[in-house]
Amino acid sequence: MDDNTMYKSYPKVNIFLKIIGHKDGYHQLISRFVKVKTIHDVMWFEANDGKGFSITGDFDCPPESNTIYKAYLKLKEHFGYRRIEEFCQTHKVVVYKKIPTEAGLGGGSSNAATFLHMINNELSLKLSKDDLMKIGAEIGADVPFFISGYDSANVRGFGQIVEEFEEDVPKLEIFTPNISCNTAKIFRVYRQNFSQTMGQSKDLGEKLALLDSKEILEEFSPEVLNDLYPAALKAHSELHFEKKDGYFFSGSGSSFFRAI
């Protein structure tokens, strides 16, 4: 095993995001996820002190809240508790962060997915992509998409249904203002103020799922495409001063993007 093997962890944007229901405390959605390759985090393993699981990186949350740590716990729960634990006692995870956090780009979920691939490769666990995606679905809604390796996909349900969408993915430019958007807060504002649109969102979401991303961005407005955008504007009024013509809103924000 080569401790210096580097793994790239890419972000995504939501070309559209429609919330179509609410079940068991979670929102159901249909969304087009597109991988962005112009920016990425880099992850690798280094020697650890043997005292326990360790992550090194520029994170804004405690280790136990990190999605990488959650992925570690889920992996131990499902496969080879002792082997995985022993490996992570002697190998810490190092993350060189370039993807902004709390920005609607799925950076934490991408890191979790990359970690699962890393462990699978380094320990030769021989877990299939489906195995990893099932574990990923228990970690976070965006994780299965990142495990899939698809450049573009329609994502449904709670994020566990990932359908590859074959298209010429447009080249995207991302703009992330210095505003942190907490996903849980944005969803709470959405439920309190905008959830009456769920029925209409389902029909439009199914129509959008059939269109190429470039076509979607040419024909629809940012407000129509992302159900969380109005909630984010209400929760963070400063976003009004950051939005620009021709840019769209990704996820729960705060990132904007456009095709170039």
Which residues have a catalytic role annotated?
A: 12, 142
DSSP annotation of 226 reads: B
Instruction: Pull the structure tokens for residue 103.
Output: 């920005």
User: Residue 136: which residues within 8 A CB-CB, separation 6 or more?
Assistant: 71, 112, 113, 116, 143, 144, 146, 147
Both structure tokens of 60 = 């804004």
Determine how many CB atoms are found less than 10 A away from the CB of residue 16.
Answer: 27
Strands (E), 54-209: 55-56, 91-96, 152-157, 161-164, 172-175
In order, the DSSP letters of 78-100 are HS-HHHHHHHHHHEEEEEE--SP
Asked if the bond preceding 195 is cis, omega within 30° of 0, the reply is no
**CA 112/CA 108 separation, integer angstroms:** 6
Q: Which two tokens stand for residue 15?
A: 């070309």
Angle between helices 129-139 and 67-78 (to 10 degrees): 120
Contact 170, 214 (CB under 8 A): yes
Contact status, residue 44 vs residue 8, Cβ threshold 8 Å: no
